[in-house]
Amino acid sequence: MLASLFAELERTGLLAETTVILFSDHGEEFFEHGRLSHTQTYHELLHVPLLLLHPAQREPLRIRSLVEGIDIAPTLLDLAGLPAPPMSGRSLVPLLRAPGAAGSDRAFAEGVSRAGGVSRVRYRASGHELLQLIHTRPEADRDGAWITRRLVFDTSGKQLAFDAVGFPGERSLAVTIDGRDAPALWLGGGWQRLSLDLGGPGPHRVALEADSCRSPHELGLGDDPRCFSFKIAGFSPERWELFDLAADPHGRHDLSRRRSTDTRALRNELRAIVHTPRAAGSPGEFPDEQIQALRALGYLR
């Protein structure tokens, strides 16, 4: 595909005056953190390619500082010599012209699910570390939230009560409370009320894990290919997770409790971002065919 693109640009004489940017809007998850597709904001979903080919850039160059998707538009305007309107991103041209220049040491990402769940991420590069703080507020859905295989969340109180149902039927859930194994929960094929004895006021870190998952499509129950194990309702657990991606690139070891000072600092930064006004542009016009294409993909209703 790319070979055809560049061949056509060369054939038409446009290659020498065309800037090409290749990027992805998100990565994919394959149960690295319990889910399939792109429903969360872990590093495997946010660390995506960003490749730029510009006629004036002859030598290959790799930029290692943090960059964001919102930097693409101001970069293109800068390369074209056009003024940029007020926007949240920044041009990457200074980094192209001076590879050793200091780039940004912060980045932000946010994901919103159709059911109302929100996940926000703050990156901070410092020395040999790349810290990633993830704040997840799962779906506050009256009908409950489907879980792939594992759910980890923070809560407080001496007990936690919630409703749950196994999929596709009876199954056992392993329970860990503050790193200690607790009695397993047995889920039936119908909704049932469950409770956990947390042992004290908390806060507590709770993990629920099933040994397998099945997709509705696999069971002939619909076209949904996602893999589920159980569903919970009655509470909306939120969690804070901290990873050092330089030492732990796959985000396996949560440091949020061990490094409480860093967690608190990044939490404050994340909250400040959420409550800071953003540059707002004027409404644009979309052709009817583009609107229909977005509707066909499920982005519009």
Mean pLDDT of 256-272: 90
pLDDT of amino acid 172:
92
Mean pLDDT of 1-15: 89
Minimum mean pLDDT among 24-38, 122-136, 154-168, 179-193: which range?
24-38
For residue 142, is pLDDT > 60? no
| Distant-in-sequence contacts of 117-126, Cβ < 8 A, 24+ apart | 117/145, 119/40, 119/41, 120/41, 120/270, 120/273, 120/274, 121/41, 121/46, 122/266, 122/269, 122/270, 122/273, 123/66, 124/266, 124/269, 125/65, 125/66
Task: Report the share of the chain in percent with pLDDT over 90.
Answer: 23
pLDDT of amino acid 117:
65
Residue that wins the pLDDT comparison between 225 and 183 = 183
For residue 116, is pLDDT > 80? no
For residue 185, is pLDDT > 90? yes
Residue that wins the pLDDT comparison between 125 and 40 = 125
**DSSP symbols for the chain:** -HHHHHHHHHHTT-GGG--EEEE-S---EESTTS-EES-S-SHHHH---EEEE-TT--S-----SB--GGGHHHHHHHHTT-PPPS-S----HHHHH-TTS--BSEEEEEEE-TTS-EEEEEEEEETTEEEEEEEEE----TT-EEESSEEEEEE-SSEEEEEEEESSS-EEEEEEETTEEEEEEEE-SS-EEEEEE-SSS--EEEEEE-S--B-TTTTTS-S----B-EEEES---BEEEEEETTT-TT--S--TTTTHHHHHHHHHHHHHHHTS-----PPP---HHHHHHHHHTTS--
pLDDT of amino acid 74:
94
Give all domains of the chain, ordered by start, each with its CATH number.
Answer: 139-237 (2.60.120.260)
Tokens of 227: 């893999």
pLDDT of amino acid 292:
84
52-85 confidence digits (pLDDT tens): 988 877 778 888 888 999 999 999 999 999 998 8
pLDDT of amino acid 208:
92
196-231 confidence digits (pLDDT tens): 999 888 788 889 999 888 888 888 777 777 788 888
pLDDT of amino acid 203:
84
Nearest to 177 by CA among 194, 195, 199, 161: 199
Summary mean pLDDT of the chain: 84
Mean pLDDT of 123-129: 87
In this structure, is the dihedral angle defined by the CA atoms of residues 254, 255, 258 and 264, taken in order, positive or negative? negative
Q: What's the pLDDT band for 51 if we cut at 50, 70, 90?
A: very high
Mean pLDDT of 158-168: 88
77-90 confidence digits (pLDDT tens): 999 999 988 888 89
Tokens of 97: 């012209």
**pTM to 2 decimals?**
0.65
